[in-house]
């Protein structure tokens, strides 16, 4: 828990870089105008979970699986009955968690995937095997990822509020077409609403067919030489990060997060709390300061509504549960 809080607070610190969301003043920019928009999310993710993982695997080659000697068949992509029983709970939990996280503004599929992975690892009887290809660690985050994408459409279609970058683009498309998303969308434009919902089903079927047909290509990528793959991955990471804003500063940030991610990997500090705090930190700060302005600086506003008390209780339970569980395990071992 201490390591998680360390990563969390570091992510919150990085989220304060840039322009103050309330006063508009510049913070921790060191006179660089490129930092006005803050530390980018993409350089952080690519550095910590892309290049850092690749460097760690290069330094620890024994952790590689030799795909040239293993037999990989196309039919292996289909779930067996045993795999389905193992992953049913993970998919159900990931689907429910991802849907509710997708509704939240600023969260999105990435955050729901990280939360689902952490949940499955905590509930697993063999958490030490996570990261080695555990099917539960794949099924849960993927279900959460897909569910979050669908959940993001709930505030879009009902309230006209975008909760992700994709839905923000869709709102722009709606406005161009003269359509106002909101409570009256289903009655005024039912063809658009139900067409959008139907497209989700069609899209999922098409993705399933494409993924099954492209299995030979994925297998071929796994058989690429270890000496070639790191070069390809590094090139794609650098080009991808640079092409977002065409800024070399993002590339330097990616390299910094690569070193940070490798250090986290070696010391056992999880990187997900840092990424979650970096993404949600600015929105959390804005909401906190907005509430304090409304209450004239009094923190009592956070304890006057039932929903606030319920959320605080859930957060406290999530924080105390690991401590209580470890204490109970210690008592069992002493007995």
Asked if residue 322 and residue 208 are part of one domain, the reply reads no
Task: Name the pLDDT band for 64 (thresholds 50, 70, 90).
Answer: very low
CA distance 146 to 156: 16
Task: Name the pLDDT band for 62 (thresholds 50, 70, 90).
Answer: low
CA distances 255 to 40, 262, 276, Å, are 13, 11, 19
Asked if residue 210 and residue 79 are part of one domain, the reply reads yes
Task: Name the pLDDT band for 335 (thresholds 50, 70, 90).
Answer: low
Asked if residue 217 and residue 75 are part of one domain, the reply reads yes
CB atoms within 10 A of CB 123: 13
Assigned domain for 204 exists: yes
Assigned domain for 240 exists: no
Prediction pTM value: 0.59
Query: Among 52-56, 139-143, 235-239, 254-258, which is the least confidently predicted range?
Result: 52-56
pLDDT digit string, tens, across residues 256-282:
999 988 888 888 888 878 877 887 788
Asked if residue 221 and residue 162 are part of one domain, the reply reads yes
Asked if residue 175 and residue 91 are part of one domain, the reply reads yes
The pLDDT of residue 75 is 66
CA distance 225 to 204: 32
Asked if residue 291 and residue 312 are part of one domain, the reply reads no
Q: Is 193 exposed, middle or buried (0-12, 13-18, 19+ CB in 10 A)?
A: middle
Q: How many domains are contained in the chain?
A: 3
Asked if residue 9 and residue 110 are part of one domain, the reply reads no
Asked if residue 318 and residue 269 are part of one domain, the reply reads no
Asked if residue 220 and residue 77 are part of one domain, the reply reads yes
Asked if residue 187 and residue 111 are part of one domain, the reply reads yes
Assigned domain for 319 exists: yes
Q: Containing domain of residue 317, as a range?
A: 305-335
Q: Is 319 exposed, middle or buried (0-12, 13-18, 19+ CB in 10 A)?
A: exposed
Task: Name the pLDDT band for 106 (thresholds 50, 70, 90).
Answer: low
Secondary structure of residue 283 in the 3-state scheme: helix
Average pLDDT of span 300-326: 81
CA distance 264 to 250: 20
Assigned domain for 101 exists: yes
Assigned domain for 331 exists: yes
Q: Which of 22-26, 199-203, 321-325 has the highest mean pLDDT?
A: 199-203
């Amino acid at each position: 828990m201490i390591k998680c809080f360390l990563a969390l607070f570091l992510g919150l610190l990085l989220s304060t870089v840039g322009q103050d969301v309330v006063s508009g003043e510049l913070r921790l920019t060191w006179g660089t105008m490129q930092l006005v928009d803050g530390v980018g999310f993409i350089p952080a993710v690519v550095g910590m979970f892309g290049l850092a993982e690749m460097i760690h695997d290069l330094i620890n080659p024994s952790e590689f699986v030799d795909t040239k000697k293993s037999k990989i068949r196309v039919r292996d992509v289909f779930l067996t009955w045993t795999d389905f029983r193992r992953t049913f709970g993970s998919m159900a939990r990931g689907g429910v968690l991802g849907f509710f996280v997708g509704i939240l503004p600023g969260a999105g599929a990435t955050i729901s995937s990280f939360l689902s992975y952490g949940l499955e690892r905590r509930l697993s009887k063999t958490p030490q095997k996570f990261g080695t290809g555990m099917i539960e660690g794949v099924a849960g985050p993927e279900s959460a990822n897909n569910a979050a994408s669908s959940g993001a459409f709930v505030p879009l279609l009902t309230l006209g509020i975008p909760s992700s970058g994709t839905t923000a683009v869709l709102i722009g498309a709606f406005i161009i077409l003269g359509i106002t998303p909101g409570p009256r969308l289903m009655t005024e434009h039912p063809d658009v609403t139900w067409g959008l919902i139907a497209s989700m089903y069609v899209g999922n079927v098409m993705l399933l067919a494409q993924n099954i047909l492209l299995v030979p290509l994925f297998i071929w990528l796994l058989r690429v030489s270890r000496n070639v793959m790191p070069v390809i991955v590094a090139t794609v990471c650098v080009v991808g990060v640079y092409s977002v804003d065409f800024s070399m500063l993002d590339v330097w940030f990616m390299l910094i997060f690569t070193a940070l991610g490798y250090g986290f990997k070696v010391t056992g500090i999880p990187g997900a709390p840092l990424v979650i705090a970096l993404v949600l930190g600015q929105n959390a700060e804005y909401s906190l300061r907005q509430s304090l302005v409304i209450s004239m600086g009094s923190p009592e506003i956070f304890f006057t509504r039932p929903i606030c008390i319920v959320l605080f209780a859930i957060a406290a339970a999530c924080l105390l549960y690991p401590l209580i569980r470890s204490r109970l395990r210690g008592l069992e071992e002493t007995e």
